[in-house]
Chain A
Amino acid sequence: MTINLKDLAAGALFVIIGLFFALDALFNLRIGQAFSMGPGYFPLVLGAVLVGLGLVIAMLGLNKPSESFGRVSWRGLLLVIGAVIFFAATIRGLGMVLSLGGATLMASLASGRMSWRGAALLSILLTGFCVLAFIYALRLPYPLFGGWITG
């Protein structure tokens, strides 16, 4: 017997999501009745349905030819998600220029084919363009440099 890990993993993920919502609804929200539904009613039903679907998906995966998850670019994943999180964490403190500069630098390095110099140049160009477009042209009220810099 072969196991399709892709289906098994998908099923498990759906079960986890379904359980989270269903249990949170069950314990923390009023369920109510069908003719006057509380805030927890619909999420509880959906969560239960999702748990059921997840179980079916996992079970169907038990007797299917296995399938590979395919390649994952861990470097890319780390740097792209890292860039987004960096921006989120520093936009207030560092301001648009440095926060965006750092994020685009990380994103530029996400593909292994970019040199450090190329990445630096690209991030400077992109940051310059975004500052011109968003702060000068669209007049969005964001400071170029944040409180960590200007004190």
Chain B
Amino acid sequence: MELELFNNLAVGFNAALSPENFMFCFVGAVIGTFIGVLPGLGPTATVAMLLPVTYYLSPTASLIMLAGIYYGSQYGGSTTAILMNLPGEVSSSVTAIDGYQMARKGEAGKALAIAAIGSFLAGTFATFLIAIVALPLASVALQFGSTQYFALILFGLVTSTALAHGSAIKAVAMIVAGMLFGMVGTDVDTGAFRFTLGLIELSDGLSTVAVALGIFGIVEILKNLENMPDSAAGTAKITTLMPTRADLRQAAGPIARGSVLGSLLGVLPGGGSILSAFSSYTLEKRISKHPERFGKGAIEGVAGPEAANNAGAQTSFIPLLTLGIPSHPLMALMIGALMIQGITPGPNVVTEQPQLFWGVIASMWIGNAMLVILNLPLVGLWVSMLKIPYRYLLPAIVAFSTIGVFTVSNSGFDVYVLAFFGVLGYTFHKFGCEPAPFLMGFVLGGLLEEHLRRAMVFSRGDPTVFLTDPISGSLLFVAVVVLILITLPAISRKREEIFVEED
């Protein structure tokens, strides 16, 4: 077993260190840091923008790059959180609390270094954890039939709304709406055209890239235009980067606890980094002998959450890699990237594509090491990126989005789809409905239908099979409990305090 693990990791490192994959890991980490630093451009929109590019890469390289963007953005987000109290990504807003206070006390360098070290150690821990649990989990998942898969997907969709921002019932409605738009096109089972409005262009369904870029990319632009973010104001000076031995000792505990906590919470659908960071902060404050230091520049308040959010970002790949179920809209897009390459994500990937599977896992560790190197010495460079005013960025985003959508199918039609979903997504936003559940539903709806149909054929139309099967029954039970919990007023209020839209 242990030997096998090391063999697998060796396969992975071999794949990840090939020149092509290594380069795209680097590219992903750089782009991730860049958009992490910039407010107003999230990782989901970025991944959607880059999806068309991945058609020219090998599946392994594209997944490595897209993953790099995701965890890279977490790193970049903390840099601006510490230096400017400006969390580039929502998950770094916790870091901003004590990180910015440290920066104001002249300890910016120390805070950055601790954040980077904490993230790296947590990333290492999470990478090994993924390597250990992936195989057993995948082999369990291989036993799953359509009944269990149906329940699993439903469970994933429901719990991901529990951890999303805003009104829970609106999130559920957004999932259903997303699934309906996912039905457009040719029905796989019968070949019937569904909801194509007589348009031949719609017979292949709505382009995932166009839908995702519309509701994330275009909507993000329109939101920013409501009150244009100005380029950054004052930045804290960075003096020494090296933390002292005492600092390290103080940070060791929070980093260790943050790594474990983040790894566990990251596996939850939709959980990922924000919940991890928040819980770690609460935990550190609670067990600290001097809780009054928190909020005034406590090093533990940076070390713990940073470790946790990075670990969470990593382990949120577990459901994607072993079950083929995305836990974040960004991962839903990765599924799209894989499908285009002819790979159906799921438990089979481990055995059929070991290079891909272990390569991506190994690349996460390599990418984390790159990020430390990218982020610490070059921190000044990243901060200067913030001086790019948003009005210059905006036309570039529009240009890359439209060209990207166009190149996927060489059709202007998909670009109209982009415009349509831009308007629809913005309307949803104005009505208080967030895009993440919509995209999850859009990507997973077809899969859910397929498994439902198959399960019902096997059970001869008896729906109770979902309740009598132990695995499916318990998944659905938990999903219902979660749904009830989040609609309870006390909890929903708490949720709205914690979760802000993470995109």
Contacts and interface: CB of A to CB of B under 8 A. Distances in A.
Interface of B: 56, 167, 169-170, 172-173, 176-177, 179-180, 183, 187, 189-190, 192, 194-195, 218, 221-222, 225-228, 390-392, 394-396, 398-403, 406-407, 412-413, 415-416, 418-419, 422-423, 426-428, 430-433, 445, 449, 452-453, 456-457, 459-463
A56 B169 contact: yes
A57 interface: yes
A100 to B, nearest CB: 6
Contacts of B187: 39
B423 to A, nearest CB: 6
Nearest to B452: A42
A70 B177 contact: no
A95 interface: no
B489 to A, nearest CB: 12
Contacts, number: 193
Contacts of A10: 170, 173, 428, 431-433
Interface residues of A, number: 69
Interface string A78-98: 001101110111011000000
A140 B407 contact: yes
Contacts of B176: 18, 46, 49-50, 53
Contacts of A89: 412
B195 to A, nearest CB: 6
27 contacts: A10-B170, A10-B433, A17-B177, A17-B180, A25-B195, A29-B192, A36-B457, A37-B189, A42-B449, A42-B452, A53-B176, A56-B169, A57-B170, A81-B419, A84-B218, A84-B398, A84-B419, A85-B415, A88-B415, A88-B418, A88-B419, A91-B406, A100-B399, A107-B394, A107-B395, A111-B394, A114-B391
Given A104-B399, A108-B391, A108-B394, 8 more contacts: A35-B457, A35-B459, A40-B194, A85-B415, A87-B415, A92-B412, A127-B399, A130-B400
B222 A73 contact: yes
A91 B180 CA distance: 30
A85 B228 contact: no
Given A13-B428, A130-B399, A81 B433 contact: no
Contacts of A126: 395-396, 399
A33 interface: yes
A77 B170 CA distance: 24
A61 to B, nearest CB: 10
Contacts of A24: 195
Nearest to A138: B56
A13 B226 contact: no
Contact of B430 (A46, A70, A130): A70
Interface in A1-34: 6-7, 9-10, 13-14, 17-18, 21, 24-25, 29-30, 33-34
